[in-house]
Amino acid sequence: MFAGTPLGILAGLVFTLLLAGAAVGDVRIRRIPNRLVAVIALLGICYSVVVAPWLPGSLRSVEGLATGLACWLPLYLFGWLGAGDVKLVAAAGAWLGPARTLEGSLLAAGLGALLALIWMVRSSGFKHVAETLGIATTLPSALTSAANPERPVRSLPYGVAIAAGAILAAWF
């Protein structure tokens, strides 16, 4: 998507750096700042309008944003993701357009599942994870309950998977 022209490469680098910044922030403080998300979305709209005539460019940008919201908002409503994660996908969609946003969402979901598995093994140990996954085949709610209710569980920085999925969809 970004390869080919100097403007495309520069825009791709900006896109990549902004998403990497969001991922780093999510790892460090478990939040994706609204200002950063707004900058990503506004620059995505500007980029879409610059590379295409303003009406098709803005339509592509809005469709990408809406696709990101449609894919991830239900996960927020079920309490499985934070609002910042959903807003990050939507903002990246302003750059990517609808087809690449869907592709990036699928990549992010797969990367997120891998990240969640690693996170579970790291925090609870392999044996507990194997038992939990075995129980979850018949009782899916086992995946949403804490292993030890007295021990606080740190949230999964899903912004990392979202950023990686969007970057992969944009560049490859």
- Give the type of residue at 117: L
- Whether 1 is covered by a domain: the verdict is no
Within a 10 A sphere around the Cβ of 145, how many other Cβ atoms? 9
Angstrom distance (rounded) from CA 105 to CA 99: 10
Amino acid 153: pLDDT: 54
- Whether 68 is covered by a domain: the verdict is yes
- Whether 23 is covered by a domain: the verdict is yes
Give the helix, strand, coil percentages of the chain, each rounded to 5: 80, 0, 20
Which residue is it, tokens 């460019």?
57
Whether 24 contacts 88, CB under 8 Å: no
- Whether 97 is covered by a domain: the verdict is yes
pLDDT above 90 for 125:
no
- Quote the tokens at residue 24: 């780093």
Nearest of 104, 75, 113 to residue 164 by alpha carbon: 104
Angstrom distance (rounded) from CA 135 to CA 148: 16
Whether 60 contacts 52, CB under 8 Å: yes
Q: What is the pLDDT of residues 16-32, one digit of tens each?
A: 999 999 999 999 999 99
Number of folded domains that form the chain: 1
Q: What is the pLDDT of residues 140-164, one digit of tens each?
A: 665 565 555 555 556 789 999 999 9
DSSP class of 70? H
Segment 102-124 shows an average pLDDT of 91
Angstrom distance (rounded) from CA 94 to CA 45: 6
Q: Give the range of the structural domain holding residue 46, as residue numbers without chain letter.
A: 6-171
Nearest of 8, 2, 168, 164 to residue 88 by alpha carbon: 164
